[in-house]
Amino acid sequence: MLPIHGRWKIKVSGNVLMQWFADSWNEEAIIAYVKEFKAAAKPLIGRDWAIISVFEEWELGVPEIEQHVIEHCEWFKLNGCVKDCHVYSPNGLKALQLENMIPHSEPGYERHVFGDLDGAVTWLGTHGFLLTQADFLSKLDVKQK
C-alpha cells in the first residue's frame, strides 16, 4: 500500500457537511477519506442534509479513485443527502473529472457547481441549509484566496 497523497478536511455544521480538498489524490487517499466522511456523516443519517465541497486547491486524482467516488456518492444519496454543491474556479480538467464521477441532479438529489463560496452558501440557504461563509472558513480552518 502506498502512502496517502491528497488532503481534506470535513466538518458538520447543523445539517450541512462541509469539506475542503487539496492536492492530487491517489487511491489510498480516497479510501481513507470515505471512511472519515462516513463517520462524520453518521449524525446526519435519517434526515435531509447537504454537502458543500471546496475543490479550489484540489489537483485531480488518479483513475483508480473514480470507482470509489462513484460508490461513495451512491452511499451519501441513499443516506439522506439531498443538496450538494461544489466550489471551484472555472477549470476544464476539474470539471471533466468531477462530472464523470459525481452524479448529476436527479429526483431527490440536486447538485450545482459554483465559482465562489458566496454563491454556494446562498444557494444552500435558499433550500433551508443555513451556513455562513465565515462559519465554513473558520470551522474548516481554510484560508480564502
**What DSSP letter does each residue of 83-125 carry, written as one string?**
EEEEE----HHHHHHHHHHSPPPBTTBEEEEESSHHHHHHHHH
Q: Could you tell me the pTM of the whole model?
A: 0.90
Domain boundaries, the chain: 7-140
Element (H, E) at 66: helix 65-78
Residue 144 confidence (pLDDT): 47
Beta-sheet strand order (sheet of 81-87): 7-13, 16-25, 49-61, 81-87, 110-114
Residue 105 confidence (pLDDT): 85
Name residues of the chain where pLDDT drops below 70: 1, 132-145
Instruction: Write the Ramachandran bin of 46: left for phi over 0, alpha for psi from -120 to 50, otherwise beta.
Output: left
The top-level CATH class assigned to 7-140 is: alpha beta
What sign does the dihedral 130-136-138-144 (CA atoms) show? negative
Residue 88 contacts residue 113 (beta carbons within 8 Å):
yes
